[in-house]
Structure 1
Amino acid sequence: MAAPLVLLALSALGAAALALLWRRGARAARGARRVCVAVLGDLGRSPRVQYHALALARHGRRVALLGFLQSRPHQDVLQNARIQLVPVAEFRGLPALPTLLQYVVKVLVQAVQLLYTMLNIEQPSYILLQNPPGLPSIAVAWVACLFWRSKLIIDWHNYGYTVMGLRHGRNHPLVQIAKWYEKLFGRLADYNLCVTNAMREDLWLNCGIRAVTLYDRPASYFKETPLELQHHLYLKLAKDYEPFKPRTESVGSGAERSAFTEVDEKTRHVLKPSGRPALLISSTSWTEDEDFSVLLKALEAYERYIDEGAELPSLVCVITGKGPLKDYYNGLINKLHLKHIQICTPWLEAEDYPLLLGSADLGVCLHKSSSGLDLPMKVVDMFGCCLPVCAIHFECLHELVKHDENGLIFRDWNELAEQLKMLFLGFPTLEGKLHSFRENLRACKQLRWDESWDQTVLPLFGQND
């Protein structure tokens, strides 16, 4: 039932585009040096899409950056004169309808909205689309490319059907339709990018799609944060979040203190007091592929270690991000009775997030990958800040996290708790695993996004297109 409806919707899109083409007349040439970079998602929470736009603008392209405007993109994007933000209206759904019909209606409405938006921008020579979500965006982008006589580039961040499978199960009819759709329309792209070698091999073996691996790399602003900037950030966050406030009152009236830093009244230098708590950070989209109960159970175990006499620091655990399960996990957090651990779940400004990563002591990643073929960008950003990571295991994680070199890989909450105990024992000494991981990250001098993009993606764009 659903498959014919989807086909009907896609046929209607094609007919509509052809009608517009007939009315407006065929263009003799593609839009010179203009690119549409699109995602059917929140632009502010789609860093890879923002990075594509900035890289294209850096090479003189005019970019229409298209997507939902729920969260503010990075200031570099907003201030770039070559990048135009093009909002797409988000469809909120019709809860009164049956699930299957609601999904079909959503696909139809989003298809019309997206096609209308793509056909009302300046004519691009390329459309670079992030997938997922691919239904209906891949088909719509392909139709728009026919209309504009443009080339289509799909950036495979993951598979949409595996993300759907987390909620509905792999064998659900909607998931099977989405899988068929991605394979069919994915073959129509002129070029394909993907995020891991494992995904590149899977695209070829199972879909007949040739792709080029473009690993996620940190942007230049993901780096270790100088102590002065750390202090200013902590003071800023302390205005709204209790865990960043100093544990005791200031002795001197002129003292400036946070939970992690203080200013020496004589020298005016920023210092980190020896008894400060350790700062643990985890970034999330609060979705089904990240089970945060694993982290909460590990923190409860860490609390018991302290109660039993282990020489461990108190912890401030910051969990950043927005998503559908945030309220659920905040409810679980509120039920915890922790004496040595404080947890807060702020939504940070785009410019503050890399500063906080560059100030933290350890990162935790709970991303499991719905396909087992993508890598967590949050770990890429943490490594850019030379921040060691504990990450939950999945199939191709070894392409990014090297166990016992730049971090640790765990399989359950008990193993994570043991890793936290081992890494923070004797904190903040400059000895032990935590320090050696950070030194290894500093020494590796990993490739940054701009260099990687120039090597891998720039050759796909013609000089005059």
Structure 2
Amino acid sequence: MAASIVALIVLALALGPLLFVWRARRWPRGRSVCVVVVGDVGRSPRMQYHALSLARRGFDVTLLGYSGSKPHDELLSNKKIHILHVLEVHLIPVGPRVFQYVIKAVVQAVLLLYALLLKSPPVDYILLQNPPGLPGIAVCWVSCFLRGSKLVIDWHNYSYTMLGLTHGFAHPLVQLAKWYEKLCGRLSDLNLCVTNAMREDLAKNWNIRAVTVYDKPASFFTNTPLETQHQLFMKLGHTYSPFRARAESLDPDFERSAFTELNPRSRKVTQLDGRPALLVSSTSWTGKGPLKERYGQIIVQMCLKHIQICTPWLEAEDYPLLLGSADLGVCLHKSSSGLDLPMKVVDMFGCCLPVCAIHFQCLHELVKHEENGMVFMDSEELADQLKMLFSEFSNSDNRLNQFRKNLKESKQLRWDENWEQTVFPLFTHTQGVWPKT
């Protein structure tokens, strides 16, 4: 890690003869932003939303990150947004673990700096997602210094706390990461964060002033019409058996999924009597996650009688449709810092989908127990909540429907409205002075 900082300094010195010439040049730029994700762009919804909002406001946007999952179609079709891929770097299985981290950080730094200086057009702002902050913060600051841009960091969490989950918070590598993140985080011109708790922590312990920009659901997270639900279930049923009909319809012309039935003559879709409840838990270890095979084996060994478990990987356009078709969401996200909120719950609430969420420090900023869902402490409490909620599932005035009603009446702000109120004024404040918050 220290080696990556040294490498950046050496690189800057090597560019010494060009430094002042480069800084003095008047770049032909308009309103432009480079959104940087040191990760899979398709799995970074908040940064995709930033890019779309900036583009709608007339900014030319370069979205820089790793290839992998497919981003939203709206982003791909936007002519103001150009996606620039950077080669993903993996740990080399040679030498001590610390050595592997150092080599990875140095290579990432070189590739990222090359992309920012030589492949990306000059921009007014670099908007960086953190974590991961190593080596992104230092590299983006060097690029901003050389090109006269402003650095904006969007704090989703802390890199050092995520590293601490693996190595323990007393590990020298974690302490070094904390020092780096605090030092380099102060180099930014503007800072955004995801909760008030994180904003207060950044101010108190890091001497960084930030503006809270809560994650809000995009406009496409909403209730899914019954006809669209049926189409989705039939599509998923081709690959995943739990979505297929349990029994044939009395009329062979009718089209059935496990949850819905289509009358081919009237084209009317109805929910099946006695249909199963649909529970959705969006996690990082299913779908394409690295632990999918392990958990798949555990699921097979469980021998469940009245429950079917499916671990699909959904396209970006199908994910909101599934949330809008479900009866309950379960969130197992626990923050490494205790200061960020699960975006999956934000998406669920956008679809007016109640949740059961595991408790952590600032969850109350999003989930209100017995109002828009339930909060649990452990697996036993979750099991009790599921039994209670689904025991009354066939009743129209059940608890789930009450939670759903509360979510509809809350009239939540959408991402675009929230962004216009909180973020856009910062990008148009040319003097770089923070508005009062």
TM-score range, shorter chain: over 0.9
CA distance in structure 2 between the partners assigned to 1:350 and 1:99 by the alignment: 35
Structure 2 CA distance for partners of 1:19 and 1:54, relative to 1, 3 Å = farther
- Residue of structure 2 in register with 1:316 after alignment: none
- Residue of structure 2 in register with 1:111 after alignment: 109
Matches within 5 A, 1:45-444: 45-120=43-118, 121-265=120-264, 267-286=266-285, 321-444=287-410
Name the TM-score, length of structure 1 as normaliser. Answer: 0.90
CA distance in structure 1 between the partners assigned to 2:430 and 2:360 by the alignment: 42
Structure 2 CA distance for partners of 1:16 and 1:232, relative to 1, 3 Å = farther
Contact residue 18 and residue 147 of structure 1 kept, 8 A: no
Instruction: Give 5+ residue unaligned stretches, structure 1.
Output: 287-319
**Residue aligned with 1:41, SS:** strand
Structure 1 residues 158-193: Cα deviation after superposition (integer angstroms, max 9, x where no partner):
000001111111111111111001100100100000
- Residue of structure 1 in register with 2:435 after alignment: none
Structure 1 residues 373-427: Cα deviation after superposition (integer angstroms, max 9, x where no partner):
0000000000000000000000000000000000000001110011001111132
Contact residue 23 and residue 147 of structure 2 kept, 8 A: no
Structure 2 CA distance for partners of 1:76 and 1:442, relative to 1, 3 Å = same
Counterpart residue type for residue 116 of structure 1? Y
Contact residue 129 and residue 154 of structure 1 kept, 8 A: yes
CA distance in structure 2 between the partners assigned to 1:9 and 1:207 by the alignment: 25
Structure 2 CA distance for partners of 1:82 and 1:426, relative to 1, 3 Å = same
Question: How far did 1:334 drift?
Answer: 2.1
- Residue of structure 2 in register with 1:34 after alignment: 32
CA distance in structure 1 between the partners assigned to 2:199 and 2:65 by the alignment: 26
CA distance in structure 2 between the partners assigned to 1:90 and 1:204 by the alignment: 33
Question: How far did 1:461 drift?
Answer: 1.5
Counterpart residue type for residue 167 of structure 1? T
Question: How far did 1:119 drift?
Answer: 0.7
Structure 2 CA distance for partners of 1:267 and 1:191, relative to 1, 3 Å = same
* RMSD across aligned positions (CA): 1.6
Structure 2 CA distance for partners of 1:18 and 1:358, relative to 1, 3 Å = farther
CA distance in structure 1 between the partners assigned to 2:10 and 2:50 by the alignment: 31
Question: How far did 1:88 drift?
Answer: 0.7
Counterpart residue type for residue 316 of structure 2? A
Give the number of the structure with larger relative contact order, counting CA–CA contacts within 8 Å between residues 6 or more apart: 1
The reply on whether 1:445 has 2:411 as its aligned counterpart is yes
Structure 1 residues 63-108: Cα deviation after superposition (integer angstroms, max 9, x where no partner):
0000001111010110000000000100122112211101000000
Instruction: Give 5+ residue unaligned stretches, structure 2.
Output: 432-437
**Residue aligned with 2:38, SS:** strand
**Residue aligned with 2:61, SS:** strand
Contact residue 40 and residue 137 of structure 1 kept, 8 A: yes
CA distance in structure 2 between the partners assigned to 1:16 and 1:22 by the alignment: 13
**Residue aligned with 1:89, SS:** coil
Counterpart residue type for residue 373 of structure 2? G
CA distance in structure 1 between the partners assigned to 2:199 and 2:289 by the alignment: 28
CA distance in structure 2 between the partners assigned to 1:42 and 1:17 by the alignment: 30
CA distance in structure 2 between the partners assigned to 1:83 and 1:418 by the alignment: 47
Contact residue 40 and residue 66 of structure 2 kept, 8 A: yes
Counterpart residue type for residue 450 of structure 1? D
CA distance in structure 2 between the partners assigned to 1:231 and 1:176 by the alignment: 51
Counterpart residue type for residue 207 of structure 2? G
CA distance in structure 2 between the partners assigned to 1:157 and 1:31 by the alignment: 29
**Residue aligned with 1:179, SS:** helix
Structure 1 residues 319-349: Cα deviation after superposition (integer angstroms, max 9, x where no partner):
x543332222222112211121111111100
- Residue of structure 2 in register with 1:298 after alignment: none
Question: How far did 1:23 drift?
Answer: 6.7
CA distance in structure 2 between the partners assigned to 1:13 and 1:323 by the alignment: 36
Question: How far did 1:361 drift?
Answer: 0.3
- Residue of structure 1 in register with 2:425 after alignment: 459
Q: Figure out how many residues of one structure are paired with residues of the other and give that number.
A: 430
Structure 1 residues 191-215: Cα deviation after superposition (integer angstroms, max 9, x where no partner):
0000000000000000000000000
**Residue aligned with 1:141, SS:** helix
Contact residue 13 and residue 143 of structure 1 kept, 8 A: no
CA distance in structure 1 between the partners assigned to 2:166 and 2:255 by the alignment: 48
Question: How far did 1:285 drift?
Answer: 1.6
**Residue aligned with 2:141, SS:** helix
Structure 2 CA distance for partners of 1:422 and 1:27, relative to 1, 3 Å = same
- Residue of structure 1 in register with 2:7 after alignment: 9
CA distance in structure 1 between the partners assigned to 2:14 and 2:230 by the alignment: 56
Structure 1 residues 27-66: Cα deviation after superposition (integer angstroms, max 9, x where no partner):
2257321100011010000000000000000000010000
Counterpart residue type for residue 443 of structure 1? E
Contact residue 22 and residue 146 of structure 2 kept, 8 A: no
Question: How far did 1:25 drift?
Answer: 6.3
CA distance in structure 2 between the partners assigned to 1:431 and 1:19 by the alignment: 74
Counterpart residue type for residue 186 of structure 2? R
CA distance in structure 2 between the partners assigned to 1:263 and 1:237 by the alignment: 16
CA distance in structure 1 between the partners assigned to 2:30 and 2:299 by the alignment: 53
Contact residue 200 and residue 210 of structure 1 kept, 8 A: yes
Structure 1 residues 120-153: Cα deviation after superposition (integer angstroms, max 9, x where no partner):
2110000000100000000000000011100000
Structure 1 residues 354-387: Cα deviation after superposition (integer angstroms, max 9, x where no partner):
0000000000000010000000000000000000
Question: How far did 1:253 drift?
Answer: 2.3
Contact residue 30 and residue 148 of structure 1 kept, 8 A: no
Question: How far did 1:428 drift?
Answer: 3.1
CA distance in structure 2 between the partners assigned to 1:233 and 1:324 by the alignment: 26
Contact residue 17 and residue 143 of structure 1 kept, 8 A: no
**Residue aligned with 2:121, SS:** coil
**Residue aligned with 1:38, SS:** strand
Structure 2 CA distance for partners of 1:431 and 1:394, relative to 1, 3 Å = same
